Structure 1
Amino acid sequence: MKLNGRDIRTIKGALSLSGYQLSGVLGSGRFGTCYSVSRHEENFALKVFNKNDVKRRKTKIAREGKILAAIDHCAIPKMIQVIDADGIYGLIMEKKPGNSLEELINWDYDFSENEILSITTQLIDIMEYLYSLKISHRDVKHSNILWDHGKIFLIDFGSARMLSEQKRRFNADFWGIGDVFLRLALTSQEMALDEGDFSVDGLGLDDMQKNVIKRLLYSKQPYESMYAVKRDFKKVFNLD
């Protein structure tokens, strides 16, 4: 989304009503732009949605804020406030630290096996919490996971839905967990056996470990519950 000077002034004005200041741009995507904002020396993230999307489907866009407001987990940004003024609709959220896994991969960071197992275990625990609330993230990927001193944070709930709304046989959350593991493992000198093999079979895993990842990626009988995912992952990687 490309904003003109008037849009920026409008955002600054809407923020000032609640005591916030616009600090900078964090990034942009097809649904809008994320900004860094501050208040009383504390930093937050502001997600401003595309104006056309707000006009066409404001009810659906508002769902992200409602879902975040129902979540209370240290690895997920807290919902702070909705900005809805002068055609600007956005969400002010807690700003989590760290760099995305996507950035780290692009910077050729060599993840160790222990780091990859820790990241995946934390991700499964976060998803287990969300499923206890009947929430599906539906966009689990490297750009939506921040990593900071060994801890991960799951962000961007723009595609999230309640599980009761899911009618598909394919579970995007399971697949996302498997994809995160695979992509990190393929960058790891410790885990990747063949630089030219980008499949699960190209990793230094035993058959039981490969089977769990393949089930997550739907190349084997898929999982039906997050509980089973957590149970099997911890068992085959000796994390109990």
Structure 2
Amino acid sequence: MVEVSSTIKGALSLFDYRLSDALGSGRFGSCYLISQYDKFFVFKIFNSNDVKRFKRKLVLEGKYLKSINHPAIPKLIRVIDTDGIYGLIMERMSGDSLEDLLNQGYPFSKKEIFLIIKQLIDVMEYLYSLKISHRDIKASNILWKNNKISLVDFGSARDLSILSCRFNPDFWGMGDVFMRLALSSQEMTFSHHDFYIDDLNLDSQEKIIVKRLLHIEQPYDNIQDLKRDFVYGFSIDQNNEQKIIN
């Protein structure tokens, strides 16, 4: 049984939720698996000291999730704000994080890597239509199951308008995820000593796209140009993309 305070258990019980397991912790709080009848959800509870000091910022995560309706992003079910407890109950997304899969030595293929980044670009295009920047795209925040991604943890999300015109953390994050997956892929590396973009098994156009994501070359200034270049720039059989999903 998860060891948590009776106050947290009591706050959950007010809404007929029960604690099932601990999922992990981060800078501002912890996540738990909770259940209500036969359904499971994720409960993200923020550290009480941070709630006192930064609540105006912490509430933004719930605000953004409430406005989002996308199958790859967890839905906000309820905000709990009672007895000094502040947390979010969210839809439980299935799959393992890319971080866990990398640590397990999962051999990503080039087609899988293409599909992950392509879906990530589509999700970001949707978020940008809502003027939302995720700002924390990394392997641990992307779940992967049945060749489909989920993007989680919107704790760093902010209004798109505050992004610097010189640096887009979402694009850089996608580039970083691409590199981590590519460097773990036997199909995309020639040896265990390959650590740089130019060492990867990519053509010149593909390398430029990755370099632009990582701000090594002229960075992208909009999601539409990135999507166009990525879809048409990578030498993946587009006709087989649906086969990968299925």
Which of 124, 127, 134 in structure 2 is aligned with 1:127? Answer: 124
Tell me how far apart the structure 2 counterparts of residues 84 and 159 of structure 1 sit (CA, whole Å). Answer: 20
- Aligned partner of 2:32 among 32, 35, 49: 35
Q: In the aligned structure 1, how far is the partner of 2:206 from the partner of 2:153?
A: 29
How far off is 1:165 after superposition?
Answer: 2.5
1:213 equivalenced with 2:210 (yes/no): yes
Q: Determine helix, strand or coil for the equivalent of 1:180.
A: helix
Which amino acid in the other structure matches residue 229 of structure 1?
L
Q: How does 1:172-191 map to 2 (within 5 A)?
A: 172-191=169-188
Structure 1 residue aligned with 2:231, among 223, 229, 234? 234
Residues 188 and 95 (structure 1), Cα distance of their counterparts in 2 relative to 1, 3 Å cut: same
Post-superposition shift, 1:197?
Answer: 2.2
Alignment length, in residue pairs? 236
Cα RMSD (Å) = 1.3
Residue of structure 1 aligned with 2:219, choices 213, 219, 222: 222
CA deviations on 1:51-107 (whole Å, 9 max, x unpaired) are: 111000111100000000000000000001001111111000000001000000000
Query: Unmatched 5+ residue regions in structure 2?
Result: 239-246
Aligned match of 2:134 in 133, 137, 140? 137
Identity of aligned residues (%): 59
8 Å CA contact retained: 1:194, 1:203: no
- Could you say what secondary structure the match of 1:47 adopts? strand
**Equivalent in the alignment of 1:202:** 199
Distance 1:90 1:229 in 2: 35
Tell me which residue corresponds to 1:158: 155
1:83 paired with 2:75, answer no
Counterpart selection for 1:23 from 10, 14, 20:
20
Residues 149-169 of structure 1 deviation map (CA, whole Å, 9 limit, x = unaligned): 111000000000011232452
1:196 Cα deviation after fit? 1.2
Task: Tell me the SS of whatever aligns to 2:225.
Answer: helix
Q: Deviation of residue 208 (structure 1)?
A: 0.5
Please state whether the residue corresponding to 1:80 is helix, strand or coil.
strand
- Matched residues in 2 for 1:220 and 1:183: separation? 19
> Residue 41 of structure 2: which of 41, 44, 52 is its match?
44
CA distance in 1, matches of 2:219, 2:15: 47
> Which of 41, 63, 67 is matched with 1:66 structurally?
63
Q: Distance in 1 between matches of 2:43 and 2:16?
A: 13
How much has 1:238 moved relative to structure 2? 4.3
Confirm or deny: 8 A CA contact 1:135 1:162 kept in the other structure: yes
